[in-house]
Structure 1
Amino acid sequence: MTVQTVKNLSELVNTPVDKLLAQMKDAGLPHTSENQEVSDVEKQVLLNYLKRQHGEEGAGERKITLQRRKKTTISADGGKTVNVAVKKKRTYVKRPDVDEDVRAQQELIAQRLAEEQARIEAEKAREEAERQAAMEAAKAKAEAEEQARREALEQAKAAEQAKKTEIVESVDSNEGDDDLVSNSEKPQSERAVPEKKVGSAAPKSKKTAPKPERENDKPRGRHVDSKRNNRVSFTEDEEFSRRGGKSNRKLKKPAKQEHGFQKPTAPIIHEVALPESITVAELADKMAVKGAEVIKVMFKMGAMATINQTIDRDTATLVVEEMGHKVKFIDENALENDMLDSIDYEGEAIKRAPVVTVMGHVDHGKTSLLDYIRTTRVAAGESGGITQHIGAYHVETDHGMVSFLDTPGHAAFTAMRARGAQATDIVILVCAADDGVMPQTIEAIQHSRAAGVPIVVAITKIDKPSADIDKVKNELVAQEVVPEEWGGDVQFVGVSAKSGEGIDELLEAVLLQAEVLELTAVPSAPAKGVVVEARLDRGRGSVATVLVQNGTLKKGDIVLAGLQMGRVRALLDENGKSVKSAGPSIPVEILGLDGTPDAGEEFIVVADERKAREVANFRQGKYREVRFARQHSAKLENLFSGMGQAEVGTLNIVLKADVRGSLEALIKSLTDLSTEEVKVNIVSSGVGGITETDATLALASQAVIFGFNVRADASAKQFIERENLDLRYYSVIYNIIDDVKQALSGLLSPDLREEIVGTAEVRDVFRSPKFGLVAGCMVLEGTVYRNEKIRVLRDNVVIFEGELESLRRFKDAVNDVRQGMECGIGVKNYNDVKVGDKIEVFKTIEVARTL
């Protein structure tokens, strides 16, 4: 078989080598370089492929063509006939089943590939055998050298011992002689004896003995006769040691070493540990890939990110799984958990007072009930007569101490009611006898059940003439709150906040329920509890109302509350009086935190201020990273969602409130007013007075400033007046919600409605040289106006919409024609009016929309 290389074949067919290799690759041949050989069979395969590419696939195929001619006669009109000839031609192709050359070539290629693989395997086996043989030879050689070194060392030691023995014997023989002769006066033969013996061992050690491994393996220095001061010559090993280990002997060249790295034959699957948030660069490093690969995968998933961008755990999990690795979530709260585990809450448990939350619908008498119990006027001081904060009080009654939490009843304060239910032992559900069960009453029942807290129902306003206690009971039974007298487990007590009727019975019911619960606490333990409310006071800084649930909170304790920490500088009770400590179930205000914690956060007292600061900083960093990651994820998801849509009207607001709970309720209520066309954007929110920074931000973002129970300082007022900003103060949540509704309603586009004002029926059609086609009509309904739009209806189907050309009453042009009168109507740009058509006159009006 003739053999030829790819390069020779390219010169023969006058084709560049690169192009020829590409064609051979497309034909299924394994050639990749110009020096590879090409057989005749491979040439035939390439030729068949090129023929198929140039439309010559039929070459070598068997074809047969059949022709048929058929004559017919057609009879035409008049008795004539026409001869018609029809020719048909059809070609049949018989294709070969299998190309024998291609089959032979494929078998040859497979055989060559198998031979090449066998050759590669044999070469690898041979190299491995050679490497093993070389390692064995090197090991044997090293062992032989080590054995020779040890033998030389033993010989040197034996020679040294013999030399020492000879010197000792010489000294002993000279001690009895009166005529001592120095060694220098002895005959040359006698002096040379010891040097000859030592020197005779030196050549052996010079050839075989290497450097001693340990200091004690070989005597060092020189040997001197103590009697005669005779110097003894050094051995070669001693000379080696005396020179500091330096030798003139040439070191043997080490054997060639091979690195142990092997290219992995399969993808390596890593177990990637993911925290709450991580940057793209860190994620790529954990998977041992380049950052560009991670960015590419995220782009394919629909999220665009940069190398230094922080992503949240969920997004990182999707990326890791997409790239074929395993995910492992790590606990970043180890520092926090260690600190919490180090706090000892063990001690003697004693009975504690119950924490009672008063919940119910707005204006059902919750605060008035507490007002009577506390003998104060709390309700009179509330804006609009409604509670807008969580009030915390503890009172001493004839039946024992009770701590009360008064929650707002307005629909906007859902979160505050939920927090009240979570921090309490017993819930007093207030329901007015003259009003019955309302939406917030049902919501309070749901919060109590979710928290697993027992309920005591207080039916207020029983002294009113319209009071109906049975109606209230029936409505509460429908909510599965069944009284004890009806076979349930809930105590019902009728009370009046004005006369005091039923107050003692209510307190007895609460304390009875507390006895059943067996509430205990450890006063000697470090304090822990929940943050009820927090606000920013201009003179005192951050002020947080906390409820101690266990332990005792003292002045000077280090408190960690959510993201904030600090040392307690002062403790104040609900009346503003300073106290030194607060035990279990006691609500107090604390001063000294470095910020306003979120309402509902848990607070603890820790011993180490440094650890508390570390945990607070860690929580702040984690909160900030997770928030930024989620914000960016939201932007990525909504990047293209607004394209092609109409512009959305936005009301920007800078909101400041007096306490954290009211701020949360306002933000939720205002953002819930947003729709698809208009939305509320809270540019900035915070607790405390309105500052110049807030005003500057409002100017930059074109926002309205809302102050809820707070005021602007002097510099902020000057800036607001100078820049003519919109500043509004509110003290009742109803008013701010209503004003924002009106503002958003102004941003809504008005509805366009059509109003039919008149209908006329065409009775006859006339031709006018001046106006063209004129329809004589009778006004059936309403009034036909000259300047309004019309529609022409035929069989109650609109066939034309336009305007009137003219409206006449007899020969006079008029502006309108009323019902029951005849008129002539000229339709502008329409001349197909027929008798029986109806002309409908309508006008478009704009209707303002509201939320």
Structure 2
Amino acid sequence: MLARSLISRACLSNLSKPNILAIKRDLSHTFYANAAPLRRSRFQPIKKESESAAETATAAGSIEELLDTKIAEKLNEEKVVETAKSSKSKQQHKRPQNKDVKSENDQQKQKVNDKRAAQGSKNSEPENIQKRDYKNEQKRINSTQKPAKVSKVKVKAKKKAADNPNSPKYKLDIPTFLSVANFATILKVRVPELIEKLDDLGFENITNEHILDAETAELIAQEYGFEVNRDDNTGADLFPASETTDSSKLTPKAPVVTIMGHVDHGKTSILDYLRKSSIVKGEFGGITQHIGAFVVQTPVSKKKITFLDTPGHAAFLKMRERGANMTDIIVLVVAAEDSVKPQTVEAIKHAKGSGVPIVIAINKCDKPEANPDKVVADLASHGIDVEDYGGETPVCRISAKTGLGMKEFEETIVTVAELLELKTEERANVEGWVLESQVKKGLGNVATLLIKRGQLKPGCILVSGTTFCKVRVMKDEHGKPIKVAKPAQPVEVSGWKELPEAGDYAIQAKDENYAKKVIINREKRKRMMDEASQVEEMNKRRIKSIEDSKKSEKIQEYQLQGFSLEEIKELEPDLFDDESNKIKYVNFIIKADVSGSAEAVRQSIEGLGNDEVKSRIIFEEVGAPTESDIARAKDSDAEILVFNTKVPKDILNSASKSKVEIKEFNVIYHLIEDVLKTLTSKLTPIYETKVISKVAIKQLFEIGLKGKETMIIAGSRVIDGTFKKNSQVRLVRNGEVIYTGKVKQLKVVKNDVNEVKNGADCGVSLEGDPEMKEGDIIEAFEQIPIQRHL
């Protein structure tokens, strides 16, 4: 009725029939779009913004004002059009002074009239008013957020941005990550409008709390006519040079050989024999503790070979992977009496995956129990194409202890290297791998590099990871100062601003200023990657929060209907979180002699555990523990694991006072075993009930106490074991336990006793005076903890 009366008022305003129909359509769209939330409010709650909009839009006065505005606009439009037509007619009848040139005044008037007419025409189009589907928008806002298919979204957004290259550009600063609501504020658009835009680009079920990355936000901003500001440092970086095909620039280089194998199969003994040095005696547990690099000149061919020595334990997987990535040949050492072991299988998988040629060294062939033929067969069963079976992988039977077959072993490596025709560029920017890094007295931060390309000299600027170095002092593997380090040569370099990480790639920069720009850029990218890794977790937590809120509302609904929490759990157990599924974390702090060792320890123990308890590394650093480490351990309830370095006495005393445990290790597998033991101790104990004796109740007696009090005594007989007064007991009736507690009194005739033997009669009363009946069984039991394992 209200709408009809308002339309009637429009008709009385002398508007043309088409404009009356247009107003009617406009009013209909506006009325029903704004009334939709009111209709929905009878069945479901809606957001506050929708409520306020609906209350304002559906008020009678508001609609009257809306219609008055529309009528005024239409009258004004008709007046403007008539004025424009009249002006044009007058100009046609008036003789122009110049047919080709209009007066400046007429041009201005014509521009104004055209602009007004165009604006009026635009406002009169009813299809532009119905812009949105409010029903679908409300569903989208209230729905649970799901991750969008970002790759498809970005492709679609890029295409749309490319289709509109001539749109105006305004400078805009966008953070690395931002929510849809914050992005709408930056763009100065309404949140529902931005959500609709994201929906068009392929995002699904977006809410105003959804997190966007900078790349996606930039593409969307371009559609709104914005241009995102970029930091000048963003493009500053260093990358490895591509391999040249110009043979005139290449020179031969020594092969880089990595030795792999199971613990104590003789890798260090082989190196010791080759370079005639006594490394084995100084090592703890007979293993090599860090990656070292050594240049060996073979006694027969006088060729140089650079050996990388990766530890044989499975714990050093990451270091071994890095060793194989920088190597030309892999030597797989297998003991003749032990054959293939788990670490051997692991090394085989990595060696085959790297595509590097393999040389098999069957060591300890001098022992009586040696069985090299079995080793060959086992290796073949694990996919090694051995020469003995017609393959291409050479097998050398050696003994590092006696020198058996060692000359043939060296020549085999040289032969394989010659077939590879190893060459590199010496006249190029320096590139190489960081083998190790540590702080040395008198030198500061030093790192051992293995040069891959170019010639390193003092004064060169190197960038590795997020640190750089201006080379000051260079030393070879023997500690002697050198002026030039060539490809395949290990060299110790001082002058690093911060310690680089073992395994990082080092590249020469043109100058120190550019190196700093590279560092800034890499640190920025690292922060972005760290933040990116947290975005998914943030969205998961947000979804979990929404789900928890819905669960709480449902629980409250049940409670309003009179249900208790126990009854609700029985009806809908999914509404409650399972506390038993929560993981306990045991925190550790790692302190090691060098960065490679610290990383190896972390790789060894990080994530150890099961779905009940897990290890977590909260901090790792090179060097001995400090007071700050103790404070950090105390705050986070962590153990400090010290590997291959000494702990000062004052630090040990301080840790003892702070009740912080510091554990020292020199052998990696001892450290792993201790961590596993600590994790096992944190497992929730499981007990097994063991019945140690049984008493059958024959007859009940009521005896008087002081005053009018009485007590029930069960006349019983011990039918199994020895019944003791201090035992934990339970009362069993018809196979069901109806009471658990302690014995109050145990008597034989009238005497109090502590135990009764099997077959003897006794009187028993229980604490709490539970109801006992003839035929009940009293069982004495004990809880025996079951040994649990990870």
Q: Equivalent residues in 2 for 1:232-247 (5 A)?
A: none
Distance of 2:94 and 2:337 partners within structure 1: 109
Structure 1's 580 and 787: CA in aligned 2 closer, same or farther, altered over 3 A? Answer: same
Matching residue within 453, 456, 462 for 2:365: 462
Higher relative contact order, chain-length normalized (CA < 8 Å, sep 6+): 2
Q: Show the counterpart of 1:736.
A: 671
* Alpha carbons 1:789, 1:843 under 8 Å: kept: yes
Of 423, 427, 441, the match for 1:520: 423
Confirm or deny: 8 A CA contact 2:250 2:424 kept in the other structure.
yes
- Which of the residues 397, 401, 411 maps onto 1:498? 401
For the residue of structure 1 that corresponds to 2:304, the secondary structure is strand
**Paired residue type of 1:821:** A
1:252 CA drift (Å): 8.3
Q: How much does 1:693 deviate?
A: 4.2
- What displacement does 1:479 show? 0.8
Shift of 1:573: 1.3
| TM-score normalised by length of structure 2 | 0.68
Report if aligned partners of 1:283, 1:316 keep a CA contact under 8 Å in 2. no
Q: Residue 484 of structure 1: which of 362, 374, 387 is its match?
A: 387
Equivalent residue, structure 2, for 1:424: 327
SS of match in other structure, 1:507: helix
Indicate if the aligned counterparts of 1:698 and 1:705 stay in contact, CA closer than 8 A: yes
Deviates more, 1:540-549 or 1:766-775: 766-775
Q: Residue type of the partner of 1:384?
A: G
Inter-partner Cα distance in structure 2 for 1:484 and 1:3? 95
Q: Is the 8 A contact 1:538 1:688 kept in 2?
A: no
Larger Rg: 1
Question: 5 Å matches for 1:701-780?
Answer: 701-711=636-646, 726-762=661-697, 764-770=698-704, 776-780=715-719
For the 8 Å contact 2:316–2:603, the answer to whether it is kept is no
Secondary structure, aligned partner of 1:839 = strand
Contact 2:238 2:518 in 1 (8 A): no
Which whole-Å deviations, capped at 9, do the CAs of 1:420-445 have from their partners, x for residues lacking one?
11111111001111212111111101
* Residue in structure 1 matched with residue 503 of structure 2 by the alignment: 600
Distance 1:563 1:529 in 2: 15
User: 1:625 is aligned with what amino acid?
Assistant: M
Structure 1 position 807 matched with structure 2 position 746 = yes
Q: Could you say if the C-alpha distance between residues 715 and 344 of structure 1 is closer, same or farther in structure 2, counting changes exceeding 3 Å?
A: farther
What is the Cα deviation at residue 415 of structure 1?
0.7
Query: 2:347: which partner in 1?
Result: 444
TM-score, with structure 1 as normaliser: 0.64
Match of 2:295 among 394, 409, 421: 394
Distance change >3 Å, CA 473–CA 342, structure 1 → 2: closer
CA drift of 1:391 comes to 1.1
Alpha-carbon contact 1:529-1:546 (below 8 Å) kept: yes
CA distance 1:549–1:778, shift in 2 (3 Å): same
Contact 2:689 2:784 in 1 (8 A): yes
CA-CA distance at 1:605 after TM superposition: 2.1
8 Å CA contact 1:558–1:609 kept in 2: the answer is yes
**1:810-848, Cα deviation, whole Å (9 max, x unpaired):** 44343222223343445664445344x543221234567
Q: Do the aligned residues in 2 keep the contact of 1:343 with 1:606 (CA within 8 Å)?
A: no
Query: Given the superposition, is the C-alpha separation of residues 318 and 446 from structure 1 closer, same or farther in structure 2, using an over 3 Å criterion?
Result: farther
Deviation track 1:431-482 (CA, whole Å, cap 9, x = no partner) reads: 1112121111111011111211121111111112221212222221221114
CA shift digits 1:483-532 (9 cap, x unpaired): 21212221111111111111111112212222222222122222223222
Cα distance between partner residues in 2 of 1:147 and 1:768? 131
CA contact (8 A) 2:728 2:742 kept: yes
Distance of 1:634 and 1:782 partners within structure 2? 58
Give the whole-Å Cα distance in 1 for the aligned partners of 2:90 and 2:367: 112
Contact kept in structure 2, 1:759 and 1:779, CA below 8 Å: yes
**Local SS of the residue matching 2:473:** strand
Structure 1 pair 714–775 and aligned structure 2 pair: CA distance change class (3 A): closer
Q: Partner residue of 1:89?
A: none
Matched, 1:669 2:604: yes
Q: Secondary structure at the match of 1:579?
A: coil
Give the distance between the partners of 2:717 and 2:30, measured in 1 at CA.
95
Partner residue, 1:833? 773
* Contact 1:359/1:428, CA 8 A, preserved across alignment: yes
Task: Sort the Cα spacing of 1:696 and 1:794 in 2 relative to 1 into closer, same or farther, 3 A.
Answer: closer
Change (3 A) 1:360 1:790: same
Q: Secondary structure at the match of 2:495?
A: strand
Report how far residue 360 of structure 1 moved: 0.7
Aligned to 1:453: 356
- Deviation per CA, 1:574-594: give whole Å up to 9, x if none: 111112222222222222222
Specify whether residues 485 and 138 from structure 1 end up closer, same or farther in structure 2 by C-alpha distance, changes over 3 A only.
farther
Q: 1:278 aligns with which of 177, 183, 196?
A: 177
Q: Secondary structure in 2 aligned to 1:623?
A: helix
Matched, 1:574 2:467: no
Residues 348/147 of structure 1: CA separation in 2 closer, same or farther (3 Å cut)? closer
Give the Cα separation in 1 of the matches to 2:402 and 2:93: 111
Distance (whole Å) between structure 1 residues aligned to residue 93 and residue 423 of structure 2: 81
- Partners of 2:783 and 2:524 in 1: CA distance: 58
Residue 563 and residue 812 in structure 1: after superposition, are their counterparts in 2 closer, same or farther (change >3 A)? same
Distance 2:411 2:458 in 1: 34
Residue 112 of structure 1 is matched in structure 2 by none
Letter aligned with residue 686 of structure 1: E
Give ranges in structure 2 of 5+ residues lacking alignment: 10-23, 33-38, 40-69, 133-155, 162-172, 549-576, 705-709
Alignment pair present for 1:352 and 2:267: no
**8 A Cα contact 1:303 1:636, kept in partner:** no
Distance between the aligned counterparts of 1:405 and 1:285, measured in 2?
57
Amino acid corresponding to residue 447 of structure 1 in structure 2: H
Q: Would the aligned equivalents of 1:788 and 1:841 in 2 still touch at CA under 8 Å? A: yes
Q: Is the 8 A contact 1:276 1:312 kept in 2?
A: no
For 1:562 and 1:365, the matched residues in 2 are separated by 34
Aligned length: 643
Could you tell me how far apart the structure 2 residues matched to 1:518 and 1:286 are? 59
Distance 1:499 1:535 in 2: 36
- Hey, what's the Cα distance between the residues in 2 that align with 1:467 and 1:134? 114
Paired with 2:488 and 2:531, the residues of 1 have a C-alpha distance of: 38
Relative distance call for 1:683 and 1:717 in structure 2 (3 A) is same
Provide the residue aligned with 1:557 in structure 2. 460
Q: Structure 1: how far apart are the matches of 2:320 and 2:592? A: 18
Cα offset, 1:393, TM superposition: 1.0
On the 8 A contact 2:446/2:494 being kept in 1, the answer is yes
Distance 1:695 1:797 in 2: 53
The answer as to 2:490 corresponding to 1:587 is: yes
1:823 aligns with 2:757: no
Change (3 A) 1:774 1:690: closer
Report the residue type matching 1:487 in the other structure: G
> Could you tell me how far apart the structure 2 residues matched to 1:31 and 1:584 are?
77
Task: Quote the Cα distance in structure 2 between the aligned partners of 1:423 and 1:369.
Answer: 20
Task: For 2:694, give the aligned amino acid.
Answer: T
Deviations 1:364-391 (A, max 9, x none): 1111111110111122222332112111
| TM-fit CA distance, 1:290 | 5.8
* CA-CA distance at 1:558 after TM superposition: 1.9
Q: How far apart, in 1, do the equivalents of 2:93 and 2:524 lie? A: 63
Matched, 1:791 2:730: yes
Is the Cα–Cα contact under 8 Å of residues 714 and 772 in structure 2 kept in the other structure?
Answer: no
CA distance 1:823–1:374, shift in 2 (3 Å): same
Equivalent residues in 2 for 1:87-98, closer than 5 Å: none
- CA shift at 1:276, angstroms? 11
- Write the deviation string for residues 277-297 of structure 1: whole angstroms up to 9, x where unpaired: 434488557876468988999
Q: Distance between the aligned counterparts of 1:680 and 1:405, measured in 2?
A: 31
Structure 1 CA distance, aligned partners of 2:503 and 2:420? Answer: 23
SS at match of 1:593: coil
SS of equivalent residue, structure 1 residue 576: coil
